[in-house]
Amino acid sequence: MSLPTSTEIRDLIQSKVRDPELMLNIIDLGLVYDIEVQEADLKTAEITMTLTSPGCPAGPEIISNVQRETHTAFPDLDEVNIHLTWTPFWNPDMMSDEARDELGIF
């Protein structure tokens, strides 16, 4: 079986993983910065993302959901690694137009 593409993983996360406080998917919120699929010794998905703030109480849940949903949808992956970063620091300008409209941010 072939490995998923970064676009397939991005689409999955967009449809399955929401911020439980804002009730919007984390792709439209701008929390996912990069997705790479690698096949070396292990078949891995390397997901670089952030949270809305370092103290985000939903952070562990969001990260767990990204890993669980990706593993479930793409069982051929040996690992789903989350790289949490604060650079660049998240801000509302990173959200999609749809997410800003939903939250009333113009």
The total domain count for the chain is 1
Residue 102 lies in a domain: no
Residue 85 lies in a domain: yes
- Report the CATH number at residue 69: 3.30.300.130
State pTM to two decimals.
0.93
List the domain range (segments joined by +) for residue 79: 6-91
Q: Which tens digit of pLDDT belongs to each residue from 14-52?
A: 999 999 999 999 999 999 999 999 998 899 999 999 999
Residue 64 lies in a domain: yes
Residue 98 lies in a domain: no
CB atoms within 10 A of CB 72: 10
* DSSP states of the chain: -PPPPHHHHHHHHHHH-EETTTTEETTTTT-EEEEEEEESSSEEEEEEE--SSTT-TTHHHHHHHHHHHHHHH-TT-SEEEEEE--SSPP-GGGS-HHHHHHHT--
